[in-house]
Amino acid sequence: MGTTLTIALRYLTARREGAGLSLVPLLSGLGIMIGVATLVVVMAVFEGYRTAVLDRLLAQTGHLVITKPGFRSFNPTPAQAVVAAQTGVARSQPVLITEGLILRGEKGAGVVVQAMELSDMRADPVLAEAAGHFYALSPSHASAGGADAAGGLSPVVLGAGLAAELGLTRGDSLRLVLSADSSDRAQGTTAARSFGLVYAGAFSAGLFEVDQSGALALLADAQGWQTRAGESYGSGSGSGTGSDTDQTPGEVSEIRLMLNDLSQRRQVLPRIRSRLPETLLISDRASDLFRDYDWVRAQGNAATLIVLVILIVAAFGVASGQLMMVQERRADIAILRGFGVQPGGVLRVFLLAGLLVAVIGLGLGLALGWYISVSLNQIRLALEAMIGRPLFNAAFYQIDEIRGDVRASGLVFVSAVTLCVSFLATLYPAWRASRVPPALALKEV
């Protein structure tokens, strides 16, 4: 094996009278390197995008979610008691969701307010910053979990994009306007509800839609808005107080469950479902999101297939280089045969020479592809600084950064395909070399 390797390496170097001979395997290896690096980057970009978006969406929506049919509010206490008795649930977040219009002077924007306990915000890596804003604005109010703040204004934390659009600074006064919903109109009430707020700070969820139209409030504050609105409606309508559509103090819109192991959700869900009150539903929000973003994986597979064809063409470039080498080394092959090297030995020499080109190109390509993949965001920032505008429209892609997720399975796939194709491409030239007649080759010299 040592002699075969030495001869193969010698054949890959330039001859004195033909210094350009080594250029052919060099270009072949370069083609494989570029093809492998491109394939690694393409796979990493699509997988990274899907992972980034899903991770941020799941952080906002929960792995499993408990709701009431018709998206009506409910008392979370019985459901939380069921969840607390189950293994595999890392934490549960009761959330009250309110949609409306937030106003600062003449400026306004649509907003989705998510109200939750401060302890739940602090336990969430994405929302921990928002919890700090509540404490910074009014420590006593935050510690109380949400009571009337100074001046009767409830604190609110807005998405970074929304806060920038309204030009807010901490302590600014806002108005939250909630339009009458269908249940209100059924009771004969069509007036909008308005509540005073004070701006506590901004948070970034890393998702365009949340950052541009999202807001966070303390759960007790938001429940107080609903209760006060329900009381005012009830006093204005003779039949409103007994309606099952009224907001009862302490109710929430949903309970979000975060699991210790997301892959165990199909085992955890039926256990919780069997113990929940019949009036409540539990759904697998993670699976719904995975299905919604299967198109990313489909597009990634299509792009991978296209680049794979390019890689195969580059690998077969090794074959043309090997055929040229066989033609140039006919005299050397004849000498080897004269020294007693059998045709199988000649085949191994040229087969090893071709595989060396492929392995070197593969190794360099994997290293280059990995480096580019982990540096994609830095490369993006550098390019944006050069051209003076964003490369990615966050309104379309939902995120404003690009992340490469290099998977070991992807690297194994690329390596296996490259080596298999290179072996097949090298096999025929090596066989041709083993069939060179020694006497005829020497006669042609």
Choice between 51 and 139, residue whose per-residue pLDDT is larger: 51
Q: What is the pLDDT of residue 346?
A: 79
Q: What is the pLDDT of residue 182?
A: 41
Q: What is the pLDDT of residue 344?
A: 81
pTM of the model: 0.78
Choice between 153 and 234, residue whose per-residue pLDDT is larger: 153
- The DSSP letter of residue 327 is H
User: Are 349 and 410 part of one and the same domain?
Assistant: yes
Choice between 134 and 111, residue whose per-residue pLDDT is larger: 111
pLDDT above 70 for 441: no
Q: What is the pLDDT of residue 413?
A: 92
For the chain, the average pLDDT equals 82
Q: What is the pLDDT of residue 150?
A: 47
At what angle are helices 408-434 and 294-328 packed, to 10 degrees?
Answer: 20
Residue 25 lies in a domain: yes
Q: Picking from 99-103, 116-120, 298-302, 333-337, which range would have the lowest pLDDT averaged per residue? A: 333-337
7-34 confidence digits (pLDDT tens) = 777 777 765 554 444 677 888 889 999 9
Alpha helices by DSSP H, 13-115: 23-61, 77-84
Tokens for 272?
A: 């919780």
Q: Picking from 59-68, 147-156, 410-419, which range would have the lowest pLDDT averaged per residue? A: 147-156
User: Are 152 and 298 part of one and the same domain?
Assistant: no
C-beta separation of 237 from 69 below 8 A: no
- Pick from 325, 319, 57: which is nearest to 205 by CA? 57
Q: Which of 245, 279, 313 is the last residue of a domain?
A: 279
Q: What is the pLDDT of residue 248?
A: 59
Angle, alpha carbons 127-131-133 (nearest 5°) = 115
Choice between 243 and 200, residue whose per-residue pLDDT is larger: 200
Q: Show the domain range for 87.
A: 69-279
C-beta separation of 112 from 186 below 8 A: no
158-188 confidence digits (pLDDT tens) = 999 999 999 999 989 999 998 655 444 444 4
Residue 286 lies in a domain: no
Using CA of residue 334, residue 336, residue 337, residue 342, what is the dihedral sign? negative
User: Are 101 and 222 part of one and the same domain?
Assistant: yes
Q: What is the pLDDT of residue 184?
A: 47
Domain count, the chain: 2
Contacts for 117 with CB less than 8 Å, ≥ 6 apart: 93, 94, 145, 218, 219
Angle, alpha carbons 90-409-56 (nearest 5°) = 35
Amino acid (one-letter) located at 439? A
User: Are 224 and 361 part of one and the same domain?
Assistant: no
Q: What are phi and psi of 101, to 5 degrees?
A: -125, 130
Q: Strand 154-159 relative to strand 193-203: parallel, antiparallel, unpaired?
A: parallel
Query: How many helices (H) does the chain have, and how many strands (E)?
Result: 19, 9
Residue 61 lies in a domain: no
User: Are 353 and 387 part of one and the same domain?
Assistant: yes
C-beta separation of 406 from 366 below 8 A: no
Using CA of residue 140, residue 141, residue 147, residue 151, what is the dihedral sign? positive
**SS3 state of residue 75:** coil
pLDDT (mean) for 367-389: 90
- The DSSP letter of residue 277 is -
Q: What is the pLDDT of residue 438?
A: 67
Residue 298 lies in a domain: yes
pLDDT (mean) for 22-51: 88
pLDDT (mean) for 374-395: 84
CA 110 and chain centroid, separation? 27
DSSP string, 160-229: HHHHHHHT--TT-EEEEEE---HHHHHTT--PPEEEEEEEEEEE--S-HHHHHHEEEEEHHHHHHHHHHH
419/85 Cα distance (integer angstroms): 53
Confidence category of residue 249, pLDDT binned at 50, 70, 90: low
Using CA of residue 121, residue 127, residue 129, residue 133, what is the dihedral sign? negative
Tally of CA atoms within 13 A in the half-sphere of 21 that contains its CB = 19
Q: What is the pLDDT of residue 21?
A: 46
User: Are 210 and 325 part of one and the same domain?
Assistant: no
Tally of CA atoms within 13 A in the half-sphere of 312 that contains its CB = 10
Q: Which of 230, 256, 279 is the last residue of a domain?
A: 279
DSSP string, 349-418: HHHHHHHHHHHHHHHHHHHHHHHHHHTHHHHHHHHHHHHTS-SS-HHHHS-SS------HHHHHHHHHHH
Q: Picking from 6-15, 282-291, 363-372, which range would have the lowest pLDDT averaged per residue? A: 6-15
Q: What is the pLDDT of residue 233?
A: 43
User: In the block, which residue shows the tokens 């409540």?
Assistant: 280
Amino acid (one-letter) located at 167? G
120-134 confidence digits (pLDDT tens) = 888 888 888 888 888
pLDDT (mean) for 224-228: 73
Q: What are phi and psi of 222, to 5 degrees?
A: -65, -40
User: Are 90 and 218 part of one and the same domain?
Assistant: yes
Tokens for 119?
A: 């302890």
**SS3 state of residue 40:** helix
Q: What is the pLDDT of residue 247?
A: 52
Q: Which of 256, 279, 302 is the last residue of a domain?
A: 279
User: Are 336 and 374 part of one and the same domain?
Assistant: yes
At what angle are helices 23-61 and 285-292 packed, to 10 degrees?
Answer: 140
Residue 284 lies in a domain: no
Q: What is the pLDDT of residue 60?
A: 86
Q: What is the pLDDT of residue 101?
A: 92
Residue 289 lies in a domain: no
Tokens for 120?
A: 């739940």
User: Are 167 and 113 part of one and the same domain?
Assistant: yes
Angle, alpha carbons 90-405-43 (nearest 5°) = 135
Q: What is the pLDDT of residue 298?
A: 86
pLDDT above 90: percentage of residues in the chain: 28
Q: What is the pLDDT of residue 186?
A: 42
**SS3 state of residue 257:** strand
User: Are 416 and 438 part of one and the same domain?
Assistant: yes
pLDDT (mean) for 279-302: 88
Using CA of residue 165, residue 171, residue 177, residue 181, what is the dihedral sign? positive
Q: Within 10 Å of residue 385's Cβ, how many Cβ atoms?
A: 8
Residue 64 lies in a domain: no
Q: What is the pLDDT of residue 221?
A: 87
User: Are 304 and 267 part of one and the same domain?
Assistant: no
User: Are 313 and 177 part of one and the same domain?
Assistant: no
Residue 63 lies in a domain: no
323-351 confidence digits (pLDDT tens) = 887 777 777 777 777 777 787 887 888 88
Q: What is the pLDDT of residue 257?
A: 94
